[in-house]
């Protein structure tokens, strides 16, 4: 029988798209902050060796003593890796460039695709009473992204409102299907969110129309506008929700969090 005192498992969402610069990290940070503002306990797992999510949330390089590299390759306990941020309810497992060698170092490891899955199911995960874990994936469909998809309940895909945006999606969907058929049959698509949306730009409108025609309800109603405050916030080491709460970007990410929370559980 399940133990009623045991907290329920957090929902794990991989933020993925193999294209760089489409808004993965920005979405992980700001959706995470917006969910935290709704009272949810959120952990962001930085799975990109570039460590932009860690930097964007103010984790100094000197404070990244144990990182997601240690979590995956060294069985480090979560308590050694997980750090608080300046945002209430928002934690981060930071990364460093060490993580870029993971693919090669793990070649001979039979569980190499399941390491994040296993790490996030350490019994001590319960001590954080998390509601959500958002995994910020690297811009590639490599072993790290596959680890994220195997660890996750769902995948959230930021789609930049630009030419060719949809073409990259078919590759991502193929990987997703492969993961579903082999290691994680329950993996769902959380949704596709249009990022850097510009209402004055016909191309943005076109990508929006095409995405909704191809993907229907999988596309979030909320679109994230191109907004300079969003791009400025990381250099002040904070989510845009704290940097400029009334900016269009903040409002959009809060709407996205509400839309996500308001969807029927699946």
Q: Contact positions toward ligand ADP, by CB under 6 A?
A: 20-26, 52, 139, 195-196, 224, 226-227, 230-231, 249
199, interface contact from Mg ion, ligand ADP, none, CB < 5-8 Å by kind: none
Among 18, 25, 147, 160, binds Mg ion (CB under 5 A): 25
User: By rule CB under 5 A, what string of x and - marks binding of each residue 28-67 to Mg ion?
Assistant: ------------------------x---------------
Nearer to ligand ADP, 10 or 23 (CB): 23
Chain-centroid distance, C-alpha 232? 20
**Chosen residue from 17, 19, 22, 24 binding Mg ion by CB under 5 A:** 24
What is the rounded distance in angstroms from the CA atom of residue 112 to the CA atom of residue 12? 19
Q: Which does 239 bind (CB under 5 to 8 A by kind): ligand ADP, Mg ion, none?
A: none
CB of 264 to ligand ADP, least distance (A): 27
Residue bearing tokens 């029927």: 264
For the CB of residue 159, give the shortest distance to Mg ion in the complex, in Å: 14
Q: Where are the beta strands (DSSP E) in the chain?
A: 11-15, 42-46, 83-84, 90-93, 132-136, 154-160, 188-195
Show the tokens assigned to 92: 């981060």
Q: Which residue has the tokens 């959380």?
A: 190
Spatial distance between the Cα atoms of 183 and 203, rounded to a whole number of angstroms: 37
Question: Least separation, in Å, of the C-beta of 176 and ligand ADP?
Answer: 17
Of the pair 97, 182, the CB lying nearest ligand ADP is at 97
Q: What phi and psi values does residue 189 have, to the nearest 5 degrees?
A: -95, 115
CB of 18 or CB of 52, closer to Mg ion? 52
Cβ 23 to ligand ADP shortest distance, Å: 4
Rounded CA separation 57/45 (Å): 12
The residues with which 92 forms a beta bridge, in sequence order, are 44, 83
Encoded one letter per residue, x for contact with Mg ion by CB under 5 A and - for no contact, window 114-143 reads: ------------------------------
Of 16 and 143, which has the nearer Cβ to ligand ADP? 16
* Helix, strand, coil share of the chain (percent; to 5): 45, 15, 40
Q: Residue 99: left (phi > 0), alpha (psi -120 to 50), or beta?
A: alpha
3-state SS assignment for residue 178: helix
- Which residues between 206 and 265 bind Mg ion (CB under 5 A)? none
Which residues of this protein are in contact with Mg ion, per CB under 5 A? Answer: 24-25, 52
């Amino acid at each position: 029988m399940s133990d009623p005192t045991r907290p329920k498992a957090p929902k794990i969402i991989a933020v993925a798209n193999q294209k760089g610069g489409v808004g993965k990290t920005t979405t992980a940070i700001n959706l995470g902050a917006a969910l935290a503002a709704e009272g949810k306990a959120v952990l962001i797992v930085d799975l990109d060796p570039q460590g932009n999510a860690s930097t964007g949330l103010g984790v100094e390089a000197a404070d990244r003593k144990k990182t997601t590299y240690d979590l995956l390759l060294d069985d480090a306990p979560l308590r050694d890796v997980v750090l608080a941020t300046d945002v209430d309810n928002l934690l981060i497992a930071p990364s460093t460039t060490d993580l870029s060698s993971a693919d090669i170092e793990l070649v001979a490891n039979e569980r190499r695709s399941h390491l994040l899955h296993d790490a996030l199911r350490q019994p001590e995960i319960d001590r954080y009473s998390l509601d959500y874990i958002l995994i910020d994936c690297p811009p590639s469909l490599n072993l790290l992204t596959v680890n994220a998809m195997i660890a996750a309940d769902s995948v959230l895909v930021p789609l930049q409102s630009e030419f060719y945006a949809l073409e990259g999606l078919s590759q991502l969907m193929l990987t997703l299907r492969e993961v579903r058929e082999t290691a994680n049959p329950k993996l769902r698509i959380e949704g596709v969110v249009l990022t850097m949306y510009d209402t004055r730009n016909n191309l943005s409108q076109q990508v929006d129309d095409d995405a909704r025609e191809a993907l229907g309800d999988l596309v979030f109603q909320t679109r994230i506008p191109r907004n300079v405050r969003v791009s400025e916030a990381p250099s002040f080491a904070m989510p845009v929700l704290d940097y400029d709460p009334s900016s269009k970007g903040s409002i959009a990410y809060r709407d996205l969090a509400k839309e996500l929370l308001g969807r029927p559980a699946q």
